[in-house]
Amino acid sequence: LMINAGLLVDVPHIAETGAAGIGLFRTELQFMIATAMPRISEQLSLYRAVLDAAGDKPVTFRTLDIGGDKVLPYMRQEEEENPALGWRAIRFCLQESAIFRAQLRAILRASAEGNVKLMYPMISGLEELTQSNELVEQCKAELRAAGVSFDENLEIGAMIEIPSAVMIADSLAKRVKFFSLGTNDLIQYTLAVDRLNEKIAYLYDPTHPAVLRLIKLTVEAAHRAGIWTGVCGEMASDPAMIPLLLGLGVDELSITPALVPPIKYIIRRLQLSECQELAAFALECESSAEILTRAQALVARAAPDWFGAGAK
């Protein structure tokens, strides 16, 4: 059970909540609150400070996920008709490779002083992953040549947040050490529902059978390849979703810090076998509403005091 973070002030939440580390550090926040592009030294000092505050706990730095709804005020960006489908995240980084390289070097250098993992956002195809891995290898070679130390065994993962990535998860799994399901985007792209549009929020549906089957496919592909899968989207911070995700075989949850204690409490009161039964039911079921009702009932039964049902 890990936390999501994006600022140095978030890091003490690890110790306060008893989480195992940071499963998603959104590095773009530093870029979004700055008035100019953060220099490599500024990036490095933030990553070092985060690792220092995290102690020996692991921190997964996600490389820049800008564009789309995350605009940098100091960078001219052409207006796009469909920003969510546009020039963003890994697409931006691979084209603006000087920015990407600087960040990779900062993360690699920081990895000498802590327990670091790195992951790429919005992978949609194999090429993006192989190109990103090549850039990391080039940055490592440059650092080695310059005698700068870094963690040679730094684990690299891919976020799975686009249905195409799920369908080629076997290929991706051979080239990374872990997957992290970004369900906020995975739901948006699977159901063609803008995650920011309130008018269609009723269609934004984590228990849609299509979403659950995609999660299952991802976990299966990962496990076949001997790697693990986490979930770092908001779905993992919803108590009712916990038995479903565990039953589907997810290995790690990275959640909103405030929810670590209640979700830990719920997990401790669930049997894995009942979670697996729920997941098996969900994978056969045609109705999202029915899946949700069953999932909520299981959590309410397992932890009635949390839901008030057992209150005297």
Residues at the site binding Mg ion, with contacts judged by CB under 5 A: 161, 182, 185
Pick one of Mg ion, ligand PEP, none as the site partner of residue 59 (Cβ within 5 to 8 A by kind). none
How far, rounded to the nearest angstrom, does the alpha carbon of residue 38 sit from its chain's CA centroid? Answer: 23
Element (H, E) at 244: helix 242-247
Q: Residue 212's closest CA among 88, 307, 129, 295?
A: 295
How far, rounded to the nearest angstrom, does the alpha carbon of residue 247 sit from its chain's CA centroid? Answer: 19
CA distance 22 to 117: 10
CA distance 208 to 205: 5
Q: Is 117 in the site for ligand PEP (CB under 6 A)?
A: no
Report the residue number, 115 or 183, with the smaller CB distance to Mg ion: 183
Q: Is 157 in the site for ligand PEP (CB under 6 A)?
A: no
Instruction: Give the interface segment with ligand PEP, choosing from 12-20, 181-189, 242-250, 276-284 (CB under 6 A).
Output: 181-189
Closest CB 269 distance from ligand PEP, rounded Å: 26
Asked if 17 and 257 touch (Cβ cutoff 8 Å), the reply is yes
Element (H, E) at 136: helix 126-145
Site size for ligand PEP, by CB under 6 A? 10
Instruction: Give the interface segment with ligand PEP, choosing from 127-135, 149-157, 177-185, 280-288 (CB under 6 A).
Output: 177-185
Pick one of Mg ion, ligand PEP, none as the site partner of residue 46 (Cβ within 5 to 8 A by kind). none
Closest CB 89 distance from Mg ion, rounded Å: 8
Residue linked to tokens 């998603």: 24
Closest CB 139 distance from ligand PEP, rounded Å: 23
Pick one of Mg ion, ligand PEP, none as the site partner of residue 232 (Cβ within 5 to 8 A by kind). ligand PEP
Asked if 136 and 185 touch (Cβ cutoff 8 Å), the reply is no
Binding site for ligand PEP (CB under 6 A): 24, 26, 65, 161, 182-185, 232-233
